[in-house]
Every structure is written in structure tokens, then in C-alpha cells.
Amino acid sequence: YLVPCDMAFGQFIHVLSVRLHLAPGKALFVFVKDTLPSS
């Protein structure tokens, strides 16, 4: 995904979960360069 450079990681996770229609309480793991960043 291309995102604005000023978007926080937590906002990005929120946008992804909304677009993927994840139910509340479902986990979403995003790795950046083989690491799991903290939100």
C-alpha cells in the first residue's frame, strides 16, 4: 500500500482492518523489513 508519509502506524493498521472487514478483536500482523513494529 502507498500511504502518506505523515500517517501514523496505528492509523495505517486501522485503515487496513476497516478495508479488510476484520471483526473487532481479530488480530492483524504487519511486518516491515522482517520486523513487527510496535503500534
pTM here? 0.68
- Cβ burial 11-35 (10 Å sphere, 16+ → b, else e): ebbeeeeeeeeeeeeeeeeeeeeee
Q: In terms of Cα–Cα distance, which of 32, 36, 26, 33 is closest to 14? A: 26
Residue span of the structural domain in which 5 resides? 1-39
pLDDT tens profile 1-39: 788 999 998 898 899 999 999 998 898 888 888 888 776
pLDDT attached to residue 39: 63
Q: How many domains does the chain have?
A: 1
pLDDT attached to residue 32: 82
